[in-house]
Chains A and B, each alone.
Chain A
């Protein structure tokens, strides 16, 4: 069965520091993987996606993610966090019936 685990419920980083949000998945075939961001009370915005090919994918807002098949992971990274990055981040796997993780809430300290 498809599942997604985001081990960190809440992460706090200082503005300008680097960020890594973890995502582990379970999927029967080659997965389609996504990262979405959600601000309070809003819908989800796609940051980036992996379907095939290069395992390091670039997204919007300076985010990137690396697909590691051997570790069943798809971690999201950003080299320098901005205060506006504070939000909830969701990793998702699947195709039409996507499965989402529970999310990681990012707080950015000034």
Chain B
């Protein structure tokens, strides 16, 4: 069990550029989540997938953000035309529904700095 893996761990980009983050969930997990966390705050829900279907999106996910999970395995989160306000840690998590409930496991996060 390698846990949830996120790449890159750190990304510095100029304002206006596009960035993409990748998440590899725990292998048997069919649910995948993206959260955003800014300094001094708790994580905020962005979106989640069950297999390849994107089932819910937060209002925080503006038109510049797009997430995909094409084969129901790894996922990508792309931010187009980055703005300084996008600077944050982007957390990916995964889970599988079990009889004991839905426990979500987080990756180490991907830090984005927009300069």
Contact = CB atoms under 8 A, between A and B. Distances in A.
Interface residues of B, number: 25
Interface stretch (A13-21, A64-72, A74-82, A93-101): A93-101
B17 interface: no
A99 B91 contact: no
B23 to A, nearest CB: 11
Interface residues of A, number: 24
A65 B63 CA distance: 39
Contact of A101 (B42, B102, B104, B105): B42
Interface of B: 4, 31, 33, 40-45, 48, 55-56, 58, 91, 100-109, 111
8 contacts: A43-B107, A43-B108, A44-B91, A90-B42, A92-B42, A98-B45, A100-B44, A103-B40
